[in-house]
Amino acid sequence: MRAFKATLATAVAMALLATSVVAVTAQSEASAEPTASAAAEPISSEEAATSEFVGTNLPNGTYSADITTEDLVAKGASPDFAEGNQGTWTWTFTDGSFLLLHPGDDTEGCSGVYESVDGSLVRMATTVESGCYFRWDVRWAQEPDGIRFQALPTDEASDEPADIAAYFDRVFLLVE
């Protein structure tokens, strides 16, 4: 399963994609906003009591993680997903819009929108795609050097729950 794979070849292309985030925000409001129809399964009260994860809007910034095939498989991802999604991943969050980059051999990337749903989860969905498509619900926790995500089950997820959980099971380090 390679629905999640996105790559980008050059820093110049990354800069060009970053400038499109503002336009994507306007476009997404009219055509591809995440909907509230896909509710996350409830988290147990015990898990909620010990969790530092929140569903408020994501903090603006650029975050990055180096992800290996072996790490993804060890955390429960399928071998196909792991092979297609290893490498350095960089997320840029800006006031409800995101840009996701995965530098590699091809020039691909994706961007989209995110929103907090009642402060309990963050719904993310691509709006401009070049090699990737996804729709996920997550929660996040502040870490000393970045953020960590918690994937939540949803009826509208674009990837297998184990693949999404393995991808997000790490700290994405604050780059800027």
pLDDT digits (tens, 9 = 90+) for 90-129: 999 999 999 988 876 454 578 899 999 999 999 998 887 6
- With respect to residue 3, please indicate whether it lies within any of the assigned structural domains: no
CA–CA gap between residue 141 and residue 70 (Å, rounded): 24
* Average pLDDT, rounded, for the chain: 74
- Residues listed for the chain: 176
- With respect to residue 48, please indicate whether it lies within any of the assigned structural domains: yes
- With respect to residue 83, please indicate whether it lies within any of the assigned structural domains: yes
pLDDT at 23 > cutoff 50:
no
- With respect to residue 68, please indicate whether it lies within any of the assigned structural domains: yes
Residue type, 93: F
Number of folded domains in the chain? 1
CA angle 144, 25, 38 (to 5 degrees): 75
Instruction: Over range 32-58, report the average pLDDT.
Output: 54
Tokens of 61: 């910034």
CB 91 within 8 A of CB 99: yes
Q: Provide the percentage of residues in the chain whose pLDDT is more than 90.
A: 45
- With respect to residue 21, please indicate whether it lies within any of the assigned structural domains: yes
- With respect to residue 152, please indicate whether it lies within any of the assigned structural domains: yes
Write down the H helix ranges in 10-87.
Answer: 11-19, 21-31, 45-50, 69-74, 79-84
- With respect to residue 5, please indicate whether it lies within any of the assigned structural domains: no
pLDDT, one tens digit per residue, over 62-92 is 999 999 999 999 999 999 999 988 999 999 9
Domain residues for the domain of 158 are 11-174
Q: What is the pTM of this model?
A: 0.69
